[in-house]
Amino acid sequence: MASAHCLSSHYGFPGPNGKGYLSRLNQGKTQSFRVWACEKTAPARKQIEIVYDPDDKRNRWVDEAGKNSGLSRMTLFSPCKINVFLRITGKREDGYHDLASLFHVISLGDTLKFSLSPTKRKDHLSTNAPGVPIDDRNLIIKALNLYRKKTGSDNFFWIHLDKKVPTGAGLGGGSSNAATALWAANQFSGSPASEHELQEWSAEIGSDIPFFFSHGAAYCTGRGEIVRDIPSPFTSDLPMVLIKPKEACPTADVYKRLKLDQTSKVDPSSLLDKISVDGVSQDICVNDLEAPAFEVLPSLKRLKKRILAAGRGQYDAVFMSGSGSTLVGIGAPDPPQFIYDDEDYQDVFISEARFCTREAGSWYSQSVPAAATAL
């Protein structure tokens, strides 16, 4: 039954012959119905509450659909990533750019809830995030369509996306959602596809998706789809803070302003070697997309400078992830005080995070909580 604090609408009207009263409560898109029946002739009027909850009916359908497979529901953590360094090494004939980057999964992420659909006709996606498409433009739906195409599976799903990773952040939230959906679909089917096959297939719908089938740390090249697993060079207790302004950096706009003759000339493999030995430092965290992103969003450049100045050495490195607009501070879990005090940053997204990995044969879990705040 919907609780009072979740009540978004309440409509009442008399029942037949004035003997009853019906109340409808909306909780998101789910409706619960309460019916109070009362006898006028009774000396003391008694009310009997009858509850009809469509969620119960839907869950029974889901359980029925899962009888044959043994699995009807699944909830998975869908973590995001940061690029510890990101070199752009050239432009390809297909219009994409070659890159060389150290990707790492972190503890900030979304939650995806999957239920088998008994109709076997269409996937249904819902989310708490306004503006996120819920049709086949969403990478989750694309991933499920891809899985059915590759395997012949006839499973369709009800999916709810509880979004914590901001969009337009350079954190790969959508790519992670797609990888998580592929993993889930494979589990529901009894895991007929190998992790390597899922990884290869995923490159057909997004360059960053294959990375999430690594074990959490990988040196990625090509468009990002060539993934080389590496041991994580970081401990899980190394703190970081993510700071993302309200404004996004559209990836296409950033690449339009990229000038290859003005990118770093450092060998990316030497960055990987150095970080594996010495750990993270400002000179290692090179991102060739920072300069064009700062042209797209000059306020982001000013924010990075202020963080470096106000941090007074509390961060081992401050850098932008991906194509922006998230700035990462490694070495401390909190932003500088001015982020809280300055009205210019009242809409900034802030999250503490940690580096994380996964074990072979299992998906990621949020073993280290990440506290996220939107000021």
Cα 179 to Cα 111, 122, 165, 188, 333, distances in angstroms? 13, 19, 15, 14, 28
Q: Is the dihedral of CA 81, 280, 353, 373 positive or negative?
A: negative
The answer to whether 54 and 30 are in contact (CB under 8 A) is: yes
User: CB neighbours (10 Å) of residue 126?
Assistant: 15
Closest to 69 in 3D by CA, of 149, 197, 156: 156
Closest to 349 in 3D by CA, of 261, 249, 241, 266: 241
d(CA 65, CA 154) in angstroms, rounded, equals: 12
d(CA 126, CA 27) in angstroms, rounded, equals: 13
Residues tagged active-site: 81, 208
The answer to whether 290 and 296 are in contact (CB under 8 A) is: no
Closest to 35 in 3D by CA, of 49, 14, 18, 17: 49
